[in-house]
Amino acid sequence: MSEGERLTELAKRRGFFFPAAGAYGGAAGFWTYGPQGAALKSNVEEAWRDRFVVKEGHQEISAPDVMPEPVFEASGHLDGFDDMIVECGECGATHRADHVVEDNTDIEEAESLPNEEVMAIIADHDIPCPSCGASLAGEPVENFNLMFETNIGPGTSSPGYLRPETAQGIFVEFPQLSEYARNQLPFGVAQIGKAYRNEISPRKSLVRVREFTQAELEHFVDPEEDEPPLDRVEDVVLPLYSGESQQADDGGQVDLTVGEAVTQDVVASDWVAYYLGVAKDWYERVGVDMDRFRFRQHLPGELAHYASDCWDAEAEIDGDWIEITGFAYRGSYDLDKHAEHSGEDYTVFKQYDDPVTVERPTVDPDMSYLGPEFGGVAGEVADALDALAARDPEAFDGDEVSVEVGGESYTVPVEQTNFAVEEVTESGEHVTPHVVEPSFGVGRIVYTVLAHAYATDEVDGEERTYLDLPAEQAPTTVGVFPLMDRDGMDDYAHDIAGALRAAGHSVTYDDSGAIGRRYRRQDEVGTPYCVTVDYESLEEDTVTLRERDSTAQKRVSIDGLAETLEQLTAGETTFDDL
């Protein structure tokens, strides 16, 4: 059985995750997290929040899942997510229409052409189906959009879309968010939420799904000035698989510290390098096996439209590397787009320490001259003069100056332009922040953590399955059992379970079946500790504390039991030291 298969089996049996709406046949790409899975996922999210929001001093928001169409016009998802598809009438295979055109003609960027035109090109060139060779001429070219569409309110006049990434919810609100950050760069805004993509074919359980949870951070920085606090992570070792290595015949993964990766320019962006370092430690914390983990650089052809450099965190399962996080330097792409489409201001005003005085060439053309002289183009001539002054002030050195408007040359006496060089005092400038984006796929991380935690060993000649989840992530912290369900041991155990719950622990009480069976149940859901009440407990107020991974037991006092568990799960003490 593959790792994936045995995990899927355990996940369903123990309540981690299973296909949604199975009673109605299910819907591909949708999964329900059961009690254990929801708890694990929530713990992973909480650990992310702790590290990427709280510890970094960032802010978290929660934007809607549905946004109106213009948001996605601006973000590029309406076009970029919209694939042109042509279906072969012979074999039924579907192909990217723009791709078959590009592959069979000299035409580039066929995606930007209208569907009818692409269809005509296919017919003109009699392009064959890549699968079966039959002609695709005459087959309709249609759109397939990966976004789920809906209508906002009654009717269809106001289309909306389920967001295909949570990021746009942050970008679009930048003007407000900047205000809350007192317009001071840098600042980071995070969001944990659902995103939706109508994938053509969902695969591999939680890996490729149609509804998923993202944990994204958009760190807005001043590209001129802001530097990441690299000293905090410079010694973190990164397993890097660079684009260069991927393309080399004998290339492989190279371990470099964050500091080395930056000085050797393996990771181009210091900001990306910083977050690779932060993230590496975080993956280890939540239970990703570092022997099955790497950072892989996107190849040039793989880069998204907005990214200048991008690294993925990947985890290995069943021999496949799956992307669990993307680290992208998005530049000012997103804010520029929203500024352009919305007409709102997506910049911050950066005030200089000292105002600077600059010499600025200006013109103030005498329109009472230009008007009669040039008629309808007078305004354009004036604009051209203005632009020329900024570009080439020396053009105004002579008696006359010429500009071109609409292919015609217009000559104006310099005297009439009122050319001057003024001293202007500037107190600052408008800056469009650049964005550093670590984007985590929570479900994939949960899946990876489970796959990597899956372990078997032998206890008293019997095979045992357990999840060696980090205590912090485990759905349940402690199982509490009465050795026998009688003689007051049950009451005593109930009291302990109640006290531990009151102290904030996640507790499972179980009095069913033999004690060994109960241990194994908890092993399979990764519960790190079990407490058992026996006859001795009733007289001496002690219990046995059992550790999951070693199955070792120690007798401890019930006084301070909650604190002991707290220290164990926080890693402040070890079981061996008890």
Partner RNA sequence: GCGCCGGUGGUCCAGUGGUAGGACAUUGGCUUCCCAAGCCAAUAGCCCGGGUUCAAUUCCCGGCCGGCGCACCA
Residues 199-218 that bind RNA (CB under 7 A): 199-205, 208
Provide the phi-psi class of 296: left if phi over 0, else alpha when psi is between -120 and 50, else beta.
beta
Q: Judged by CB under 7 A, does residue 552 bind RNA? A: yes
Q: Residues 290, 304, 377, 455: which binds RNA (CB under 7 A)?
A: 304
Q: Judged by CB under 7 A, does residue 515 bind RNA? A: yes
Q: Judged by CB under 7 A, does residue 455 bind RNA? A: no
Q: Judged by CB under 7 A, does residue 521 bind RNA? A: yes
Compute the least distance from the CB of residue 530 to RNA, in Å.
8
- Residue with Cβ nearer RNA (231 or 485): 485
Instruction: Give me the half-sphere count of Cα atoms (radius 13 Å) on the Cβ side of residue 90.
Output: 12
Strand order from edge to edge, sheet including 529-533: 507-509, 478-482, 529-533, 542-547, 553-557
Q: Residues 71, 74, 78, 95: which binds RNA (CB under 7 A)?
A: 95
Residue 541 · residue 558 · CB < 8 Å: yes
Q: Distance (Å, rounded) from C-alpha 96 to C-alpha 146?
A: 13
Q: Judged by CB under 7 A, does residue 535 bind RNA? A: yes
- Residue with Cβ nearer RNA (180 or 535): 535
Q: Residues 145, 444, 534, 569: which binds RNA (CB under 7 A)?
A: 534
Q: Judged by CB under 7 A, does residue 578 bind RNA? A: no
Q: Residues 164, 186, 287, 361: which binds RNA (CB under 7 A)?
A: 164
Strand order from edge to edge, sheet including 141-145: 94-96, 82-87, 141-145
- Residue with Cβ nearer RNA (91 or 248): 91
Can you read off the two tokens belonging to residue 129? 């189906």
Choices 173-181, 299-307, 336-344, 368-376 (CB under 7 A): range interacting with RNA: 299-307
Residue 489 · residue 537 · CB < 8 Å: yes
What sign for the dihedral angle of Cα 204, 205, 207, 211?
positive
CA distances from 482 to 179, 256, 515 (A): 57, 51, 8
Choices 56-64, 72-80, 374-382, 390-398 (CB under 7 A): range interacting with RNA: 72-80
CA distances from 474 to 38, 287, 323, 485, 574 (A): 11, 10, 23, 26, 17
- Residue with Cβ nearer RNA (28 or 248): 28
Helices (H), 401-459: 414-417, 442-453
Compute the least distance from the CB of residue 279 to RNA, in Å.
18
CB 398: neighbour CB atoms within 10 A? 10
- Which residue has 């570009």 as its token pair? 391
Q: Judged by CB under 7 A, does residue 543 bind RNA? A: yes
Binding mask 468-507 for RNA (x = CB under 7 A): ---------------xxx----------------------
Q: Judged by CB under 7 A, does residue 70 bind RNA? A: no
Q: Judged by CB under 7 A, does residue 9 bind RNA? A: yes
Q: Judged by CB under 7 A, does residue 134 bind RNA? A: no
Q: Judged by CB under 7 A, does residue 299 bind RNA? A: no
- Residue with Cβ nearer RNA (222 or 468): 468
Cα torsion 207, 208, 210, 212 to 10°: value is 30
